[in-house]
Chains A and B, each alone.
With several copies, the nearest count.
Chain A
Amino acid sequence: MRTLTIEGLSREMVALRASKEIHDGTYVNLGIGIPTIVSNWIEGRDVILQAEIGMLKTGPLATGDQIDQDLINASCEPVTELSGACYFDIVESMSIIRGGHVDLAILGAFQVSEKGDFASWLNPDRGYPHGVGNIGGSMDLAVGAKRVIITMEHTAGNRPKIVKECTYPLTARGVVDLIITDLAVIQVTPHGLVLKEGYPGLTTDEIQAVTGARLTVAQDFKEIDL
């Protein structure tokens, strides 16, 4: 058995893999972190981005003269608007999200469980009072989007982030459809986790070894398809 010191996919490549899950003609919300990078891979495609702050058709990050202080994304970065954009308030934005109008949300997470629960908003290590953390739009996206994909590192140091039961406070229960990490693509099914794709050269046993929940290997298991 070899030691796993493998690099895995870069964040950019994880985002690229995630971008392949986006169908043309759909509305997508991208969370903070790796999901934000996904936007670089869909420029020019027939995909409309929704932003929590109250916008449809968010364009790429604004630079130089494009920067408008009244036009930011949920990470407070200046962005641009594409032709046909529209603005609305956060009540409407949350109606769009919670009401099931967004086709796909791609989010980050601390942990994902084999049941499709995930935890993303409260790191207990920060030591805040009970139940206090940065929720943002994550819980609404989790319950409202028609499909939820989590993109994240496969492990935090040596600790698996894909687990049997989340130990961090949950964002939502049973909502994750697909997990895309630097090492694998894993589908959440009613029968547990199915390993669909792996990092080139890694065996399924090696992936299982860094995963905290049991993986069933898909019949069509293959190398991650970029």
Chain B
Amino acid sequence: MNKVYPSPDEAVSDIPSGAVVALGGFFTCGTPTYLTKALARLGVQDLTIIIQSFGVGATEVNELVENRQVKKVIGNYPFYRSAERGAQHLFEQLVRFGKIAVEVYPMGTFVEKMRAGGTGIAAFYTPTGAGTLVAEGKETRIFNGREHVLETALKPDFALVHAWKGDTEGNLMYRKTARNYNAVMAMSAKVTVAEVEQLVNPGEINPDCVHTPGIYVQRVVKVDRLNITPSAG
């Protein structure tokens, strides 16, 4: 079951305009840089991007914005912390002027929605966000004396993730905090594409240390490890 694709471009070539695409990574850590650049080169439009953060870190994500490929963002921490920096940032300007729609969720709800999509759970009640703007327009219900918000599953069409090591059948292992959103996005999407720094044969990853079982991963691409300086921009 060989899932290896020869290049990032070939691995994302069937992502259509209008697709819902999840991008792994937390700021500069564990981001699918090569696959995101390939998506920018592909030039498809009207994308809904699921991502932690837009303004900060990973500049290749901004290529999607500069190319006007993004219709909507679903995320958790979309903006620069600094209002001044944010004001100069194209993404924030487009959001302000209503050119890109943004939907934000608490971090736990954001990942739980994707997990629900991957695990076949339609909806769940969480205490997070109860009594806040996050609960606006949503059903709430009291369990054990505490208000909970009903949140529904989120299932991306594609997930682009970055892993440290992957075998040809899609078993993945991440390194340290670069695991972050990559694992849940991989299990959630209809089609998951993984770029891996080390491509190995089946059996070369300790079976007890696989983070993402290969069944969740449809495509694997070998990429070089980049040298990244962690920075919140």
- Using CB atoms and an 8 Å cutoff, list the residues of chain A in contact with chain B: 25, 27, 32, 46, 48, 50-57, 67-78, 81-92, 94-102, 117, 122-123, 125-140, 142-144, 169-173
Contact = CB atoms under 8 A, between A and B. Distances in A.
Interface of B: 1, 26-30, 56-57, 76-79, 81, 83, 86, 92, 95-96, 98, 102-109, 111-112, 115, 117-121, 126-134, 136, 164, 167, 169, 171, 174-184, 187, 201-203, 205, 207-208, 210-211, 213-216, 227-232
Nearest to A86: B210
Given A94-B108, A100-B120, A133-B104, A83 B184 contact: no
Contacts of A139: 106-109, 128-129, 132, 134
A76 B29 contact: yes
Given A131-B104, A132-B104, A86 B79 contact: no
B130 A143 contact: yes
A25 B44 CA distance: 29
Contacts of B229: 67, 69
B178 to A, nearest CB: 4
Nearest to A55: B177
Contact of B214 (A56, A77, A117, A136): A56
Given A87-B207, A96-B215, A101-B215, A170 B111 contact: no
Please give me the 5 A-B residue pairs with the lowest Cβ-Cβ distance, nearest first: A84-B202, A94-B108, A83-B203, A98-B120, A86-B210
Given A90-B107, A95-B187, 13 more contacts: A87-B174, A87-B177, A94-B111, A95-B119, A98-B128, A123-B83, A127-B96, A131-B136, A132-B103, A139-B109, A140-B107, A143-B127, A173-B132
A27 B178 CA distance: 22
A54 B177 contact: yes
B155 to A, nearest CB: 9
A181 to B, nearest CB: 21
Contacts of A142: 128
Contacts of A84: 167, 169, 171, 201-203, 214
B109 to A, nearest CB: 8
A135 B135 CA distance: 13
Contacts of B213: 56, 86, 88, 92, 96
Given A81-B176, A94-B111, A134 B96 contact: no
Contact of A75 (B104, B121, B232): B232
Contacts of B103: 132
23 contacts: A48-B215, A67-B229, A69-B229, A72-B29, A72-B177, A76-B27, A76-B232, A78-B230, A84-B201, A89-B183, A90-B26, A95-B118, A95-B119, A97-B120, A98-B108, A98-B121, A117-B131, A128-B95, A129-B102, A134-B76, A139-B109, A143-B127, A144-B127
